[in-house]
Amino acid sequence: MSEVVVALAGNPNAGKTTIFNRLTGARQKVGNWPGVTVEKKEGELRIGDRLFRIVDLPGIYSLTPYSLEEVIARNFILEEGPRIILNVVDASNLERNLYLTVQLMELGKPMVLALNMIDVAKARGLYVDAETLSRLLGIPVVPTVGTKGFGMEDLVETLMAVVEGQKESRPVHINYGREIETALAELTETLSALNILPGYPRRWLALKLLEGDRDVLERIRKEPRAEALWPRIEEITERLTRIFDESPEALIVEARYGFIAGAVREAVRISAISRKTLSEHLDDVLTHRLLGFPIFIGFMYLLFYLTFKLGAYPVAWLERGLEFSENLLRANLPPGLIREILVEGVLGGVGGVLVYLPNILLLFLGISLFEDTGYLARAAFIMDRVMHSLGLHGKAFIPLLMGFGCNVPAILATRTMENPRERILTILINPLMSCSARFPVYVLFAGTFFRGHETQVVFGLYALGIVLAALVARLFGRILIKEEDTPFVLELPPYRLPTVRGLFFHVWDRTRVYLRKMGGVILLASVLLWVFSAFPRDGAHPPELSQSYIGRVGKILEPVLEPLGFDWRMSVALVTGFVAKEVVVSSLGVLYKAGEESTRTLEEALRASGLSPAAALAFMVFVLLYVPCVGTLAAIWKETGSLRYPFINIGYQLILAWITAFLTYRLGLLVLG
């Protein structure tokens, strides 16, 4: 079976991921791009004896390599040699999307254009003539609606036809005007004669030289025969600048936009009836200067309310299943190490985290709904105005929002920020965003000590993380960033009705990571913790928990955390949470139920321990704020290139966590008793 590599490229919010999922279904694999930690998605599409390997490139606006995503996309197309490019564009924002299309066309590769979201375009009174656009661009154009599956068969047939030579795909060359075309011809001939970067398209290289593309210039400087090229490039650049009073780069960009404007004028018909789109009507309310913020707060509150309300039933079923499993093991296994490790180590640890999986799934579903409908971009727009007044940089808010899922990819997302100092500031405050790994801790303690008020408690914790991030940003901003802010410009995609398929993929991607943790690091940590809690033994009898190895460690830590209302078991759980925050719950499950023959739940064991609601609230605050997990610290180290910043995070977060938890505990004793 012959393999065809397809590079899938497009702007963010153009529906590229939806098209990718439609084409590849479950035949996907996720990894990292070689040498970097940016996610790489590949999928397979089989048609007859052809195997199409579709590589989903990062969403980008251009091929100018300012961000890591743009570098990855361009390098893949140039160096990995895909047979064909599938470019997905948003038909309702055609002029903006076609800038990337034009740059892809300049690479000279066979292309197919997926004219996606034509239903949205029609709703806005825009009618795109696909045949005219195809003729103007020189490539096949296929109208699609990825969310509904419309046009997918035509798209697959077109890809097949282009690969087999039954349909032409010869991207046109934009005419940049007589002076620039003369310069391009001369540079193209010189590059060929000197055999510089032989695997790269000659005309494209010449364009990059005129544009002053930093990446291309660095590559050419390494070529031994390139010295003769530089004087001529300088001469051409000076001549063009003198003639047009503009840099060659500006002239090239202007010509591209001119070509795009002409193509859009030819291929797009605008309805005579001017009407406001549904997105514009919704934005009038949802991004309103006064109403936008309380509406956002209301949506977040509703998310947490439904997470607890709807999750209560499956959580109860899982608790009963866990109790049944414990009884079954106790009834069928003789007393001894095997039974203890399975009941107290595995079920007590992993089971303590597993029962809150329904809550986690509902939280992931809610966040995915916000993303897929387009509301998450509005949330960033709304919160930017609030947070900016507190000193938090506007560009930082997208990675901070991602931190609600996991801090590691959120830190990686800061790569799109051009200013290194702004990026470091965003990385330093990102761990204060309450990631999903902390959520089981909140559910456990809020459900145990604040039954009926779980939503308010958890909502307050998320809000506390945001407020403290803003305050820390203001403090660090004066130390690390003393220059002026750059304006915050955020694209607001049109609202869309999410599909079941899309929601499933998004929720499953997040849940898979959670389940992998449960079967790996959480299971290992739970078993190791049980071992340290069950030894040293006097014959067959386990020691008093406080006299076990882990008990001795806890007693050493207890004086530091006792002012916060924590006992030694909670101290140990916090230490193990350094590996992953979910391990806090599994550790508590092992420590509070160790040696018990009863099958009471972890909630019942916590209530019976004499822990006060004030201490429980302080514990949740401490978990919110104290040291990031190992994975997050590793990401900070890798992204900043210095061990200094992980240690800064450890230091300031420990101090902040202790002070805030202490104040919470003392105020809690006064209010809650």
380 pLDDT band, cuts 50/70/90, is confident
> For residue range 64-76, what is the model confidence (pLDDT) as tens digits?
777 777 888 888 9
Strands (DSSP E) found in 313-371: none
- What confidence score (pLDDT) does residue 376 get? 76
> For residue range 338-351, what is the model confidence (pLDDT) as tens digits?
887 787 777 777 77
HEC string for 41-69: EEEEEEECCEEEEEEECCCCCCCCCCCHH
- What confidence score (pLDDT) does residue 34 get? 56
Instruction: Using the predicted structure, report yes or no on whether residue 37 has a pLDDT greater than 90.
Output: no
What is d(CA 440, CA 354) in angstroms, rounded to the nearest whole number?
9
What is d(CA 307, CA 434) in angstroms, rounded to the nearest whole number?
15
Domains and CATH numbers, the chain: 2-163 (3.40.50.300), 178-270 (1.10.287.1770), 292-486+499-672 (no CATH)
Least confident interval from 115-129, 311-325, 389-403, 601-615: 389-403
Other CB atoms within a 10 A radius of the CB of residue 610 amount to: 8
Is 10 in a helix, a strand, or coil?
strand
- What confidence score (pLDDT) does residue 189 get? 87
Q: What percent of the chain has pLDDT over 70?
A: 89
- What confidence score (pLDDT) does residue 487 get? 46
**Percent helix, strand and coil across the chain, each to the nearest 5:** 65, 10, 25
DSSP H or E stretch at residue 7? strand 2-10
The residue type found at 33 is W
Over residues 540-547, the mean pLDDT reads 67
What is d(CA 342, CA 338) in angstroms, rounded to the nearest whole number?
6
Show the tokens assigned to 193: 């004669």
**Alpha-helical regions (H) of 481-548:** 500-517, 523-534
- Per DSSP bridges, beta strands 111-116 and 141-143 are parallel
Higher pLDDT, 515 or 393: 515
Spatial neighbors of 238 by CB under 8 A, at least 6 apart, are none
- What confidence score (pLDDT) does residue 191 get? 85
> For residue range 1-12, what is the model confidence (pLDDT) as tens digits?
689 999 999 998
140 pLDDT band, cuts 50/70/90, is very high
Other CB atoms within a 10 A radius of the CB of residue 348 amount to: 29
- What confidence score (pLDDT) does residue 276 get? 57
Cis peptide before 498 (omega within 30 of 0): no
CB 111 within 8 A of CB 39: no
Write the CA distances from 126 to 267, 272, 523, integer angstroms. 10, 10, 55
Over residues 193-221, the mean pLDDT reads 87
pTM of the model: 0.65
666 pLDDT band, cuts 50/70/90, is very high
DSSP 641: T
DSSP 432: G
Q: Which of the residue ranges 222-231, 383-392, 492-501 has the most confident prediction, judged by mean pLDDT? A: 222-231
27 pLDDT band, cuts 50/70/90, is low
HEC string for 66-101: CCHHHHHHHHHHHHCCCCEEEEEEEHHHHHHHHHHH
DSSP 562: G
- What confidence score (pLDDT) does residue 493 get? 64
Other CB atoms within a 10 A radius of the CB of residue 237 amount to: 17
- Per DSSP bridges, beta strands 126-128 and 268-270 are antiparallel
Burial class (CB in 10 A: 0-12, 13-18, 19+), 224: exposed
Is 666 in a helix, a strand, or coil?
helix
What is d(CA 217, CA 126) in angstroms, rounded to the nearest whole number?
41
Instruction: Using the predicted structure, report yes or no on whether residue 616 has a pLDDT greater than 90.
Output: yes
DSSP per position, 221-287: HTSTT-TTHHHHHHHHHHHHHHHHSS-HHHHHHHHHHHHHHHHHHHHEEE-SS----HHHHHHHHHT
What is d(CA 527, CA 343) in angstroms, rounded to the nearest whole number?
10
Over residues 558-578, the mean pLDDT reads 89
> For residue range 154-202, what is the model confidence (pLDDT) as tens digits?
999 999 999 999 999 999 888 888 888 888 888 888 888 888 888 888 8
Instruction: Using the predicted structure, report yes or no on whether residue 274 has a pLDDT greater than 50.
Output: no
Other CB atoms within a 10 A radius of the CB of residue 132 amount to: 15
CB 477 within 8 A of CB 391: yes
| Dihedral angle computed from the Cα positions of residues 13, 18, 23 and 25, in that order, rounded to the nearest 10 degrees | 140
- What confidence score (pLDDT) does residue 112 get? 96
CB 592 within 8 A of CB 527: no
Full strand arrangement of the beta sheet holding 84-90: 28-32, 39-47, 50-56, 2-10, 84-90, 111-116, 141-143
Q: How many CA atoms lie within 13 A of 52 on its CB side?
A: 27
Q: CA nearest 621: which of 658, 575, 592, 578?
A: 658
216 pLDDT band, cuts 50/70/90, is confident
Start-to-end Cα distance in the chain: 72
DSSP per position, 371-416: HHHTHHHHHHHHHHHHHHTTT--GGGHHHHHHTTT-HHHHHHGGGG
Over residues 411-417, the mean pLDDT reads 72
> For residue range 55-104, what is the model confidence (pLDDT) as tens digits?
999 888 888 777 777 888 888 998 888 999 999 999 988 988 999 999 99
- What confidence score (pLDDT) does residue 277 get? 62
